[in-house]
Amino acid sequence: MRLHYYPETDSLYIDLSEKSSADSKEIAPGVVLDFDDEGKLVGIDIDRASQVSNLASLEIRALPVSKLQMQA
């Protein structure tokens, strides 16, 4: 899983899979779910992310993470 923040558009993309998106569905204003060709969720796009969430901190609880990488 990867989190991508795009400051030029203030959008946050949560990449859940290596698979490409084949279909998308807006489930709320500014929140789009991406699905692969089998209908499985592969990503979540959140517009105006800084207005929806506090992007200044990230907390991870009880995830079985074997690799944690941070990039600026």
Higher pLDDT, 70 or 36: 36
Give the Cα-Cα-Cα angle 56, 57, 62 (nearest 5 degrees).
Answer: 160
Which positions ≥6 away from 38 have C-beta within 8 Å?
A: none
pTM here is 0.86
CA proximity to 15, closest of 31, 34, 28, 29: 34
| Cα 72 from chain centre | 17
Hey, which residues does 31 pair with through a beta bridge?
28, 46
Q: What is the pLDDT of residues 1-59, one digit of tens each?
A: 999 999 999 999 999 999 999 999 999 999 999 999 999 999 999 999 999 998 888 88
